[in-house]
A and B are shown apart, each in its own frame.
Chain A
Amino acid sequence: MSEMKKIKNLKDFSTSADRFEGANLLCPGCAHSIIVREILNATNDPLILSAATGCLEVCTAVYPYTSWDNSWIHIGFENASTAIAGAEAMYKARKRKGKLPASCEGKSPKFVAFGGDGATYDIGFQWISGCFERGHDMMYVCLDNEVYANTGGQRSSSTPIGASTVTTPAGRVSYGEKMMKKDMLSIMAAHGAPYVAQVAPNKWKDMVKKIQKGFATEGPVFINAMSACTTEWKFAPDDTIAISDLATDSLVFPLYEIENGTKLTITYRPKNKVPVRDYLGAQGRFKHLFKPQYEYLIDEWQKMVDARWEYLQRREEASV
């Protein structure tokens, strides 16, 4: 294995030579690209990347341009995972047979697949599950903006309860999405994956630590990255980091990791916990919850988040 890139602080990190380029067509303030930059800059090893159909893919591969300075492949919506697993399997086989080109000597490429929550929680799910069951040496990153953003904002199984989307519109008779957000991290941990973690771009240090840990792990790694979406969550583009802070500090999006399917560790404990109400109130997709007939849902949300936090803490303590 090659040496891990040393990133002691943000000044160190800022000497990175980005391998992701600007003048892509992501919205101003899009968190997808902040996450991608943090992940790519966490290593200097060669990168073999794939992306599922979705905002990231569509906006970084607009003919005749590419925004990627490493090898990158897109096949379909559902199979970013198997595309990268195939590349990883070929690499391994050629290595075993001594058939890698000389330029690969002494290198340890990293295989990373990116997919949105639609691609991950719903449409690409069985492909991801297969990759994890087969144990490929790869990292799968879900850019979780809790909605099918690229096609105009339809709900996915990651959309949280009460969010208004174009297929679960809030109005006189509905408070929006009726289902709870799917617990993808537990599902991936249940595959016995050596490492799964939740990350958020506003906590860049926690992100880099987890990504480097993931890269150092042999076998499949799952990363669920919260990606605040200015367009579909309906907040101003300059608020992306502030909204992300509200998500992590209200514990709506807790940061933790699970090793070998069981060992759970919480990696961020907010010093000043903020009410869930503040997180919801900052986004247009939850604005109707502040009408009298739906306000009870804000309390329900708080209870849900508290119960989840309690559960995570107990699991951490019990280490099971």
Chain B
Amino acid sequence: MKYLGWDELIPGAILFSFSEEMEKDASEILPEDRPYAETNSHEAYVGDWRVLKPVYNRDLCIDCQFCWIYCPDVSIISRDKKMIGVDYDHCKGCGICVEVCPTNPKSLLMFEERIDNDDALAQWPEKE
């Protein structure tokens, strides 16, 4: 990547945080297909903010997408109208996704960071 000084830009120039030019607007390109530049916060990590982590149980999920819409940190990964998992690089562990999950038992639950996800799934509570 070639770096330009601020005074080398033309007036009205727009800087994007992608490392190469994209043919389309980002709204038409899914994150996994975007050429993120190292200056895009997508490339940064806040997973160490968490005390507890949300664990996802696919077997109970009804794909309502409440967790997707209310996650403040773009950390619920939904593709083709299906919830597929949590982005642990960007999830700050707020727990909102768990609070809004409507299934019984919930399809998302908070567990201690050190617990393995498979062990968490093995301890899943029964229907209330």
Contact = CB atoms under 8 A, between A and B. Distances in A.
Interface of A: 10-26, 28-34, 37-38, 43-46, 60, 62, 64-71, 90, 201-202, 204, 230, 236-242
Contact of B75 (A22, A60, A66): A22
B37 to A, nearest CB: 9
Interface in B74-109: 74-75, 78-81, 83, 87, 89-96, 98-100
B27 A23 contact: no
Nearest to A107: B25
Contacts, number: 147
Contact of B72 (A29, A62, A236): A29
B69 A23 contact: no
Contacts of B92: 28-29
A238 B75 contact: no
B39 interface: yes
A23 B70 contact: no
B72 A240 contact: yes
Contacts of B14: 71
A22 B39 contact: no
A39 B38 CA distance: 26
A34 B42 contact: no
B96 A29 contact: yes
B94 A237 contact: yes
B68 interface: yes
Contacts of A90: 12
A236 B66 CA distance: 19
A13 B98 contact: no
Contacts of A65: 17, 39-41, 43-44
B45 A69 contact: no
A204 B67 CA distance: 12
Interface of B: 12, 14-18, 25-31, 34, 38-46, 49, 63-66, 68-75, 78-81, 83, 87, 89-96, 98-100
Given A26-B73, A71-B16, 11 more contacts: A14-B78, A23-B41, A28-B72, A44-B28, A45-B27, A46-B25, A68-B17, A69-B18, A238-B95, A238-B96, A241-B99
A13 B14 CA distance: 28
A22 B99 contact: no
Interface of B is mostly: loop
A70 B94 contact: no
24 contacts: A12-B81, A14-B78, A17-B26, A17-B27, A18-B31, A23-B41, A23-B89, A25-B46, A26-B72, A28-B49, A29-B92, A29-B96, A34-B70, A34-B72, A44-B27, A44-B28, A46-B25, A64-B38, A66-B40, A67-B40, A69-B26, A236-B95, A237-B96, A240-B96
Contacts of B94: 28-29, 230, 237-238, 240
A145 B24 CA distance: 35
Nearest 3 pairs of A and B residues by beta carbon:
A22-B90, A238-B95, A29-B94
Contact of B44 (A23, A46, A239): A23
A238 B65 contact: no
Contacts of B83: 14
Contacts of B41: 21-24, 60, 62, 65-67
A66 B63 contact: no
A24 B90 CA distance: 8
Contacts of A69: 16-18, 26, 34, 40
Nearest to B25: A46
A10 B99 contact: no
A61 to B, nearest CB: 9
Contact of B45 (A23, A230, A237): A23
Contacts of A236: 95
B42 A23 contact: yes
Contacts of B96: 29, 237-238, 240-241
Q: Which of B31, B44, B64 gathers most chain A CB within 10 Å?
A: B44
B27 A30 contact: no
Given A69-B26, A239-B99, A21 B42 contact: yes
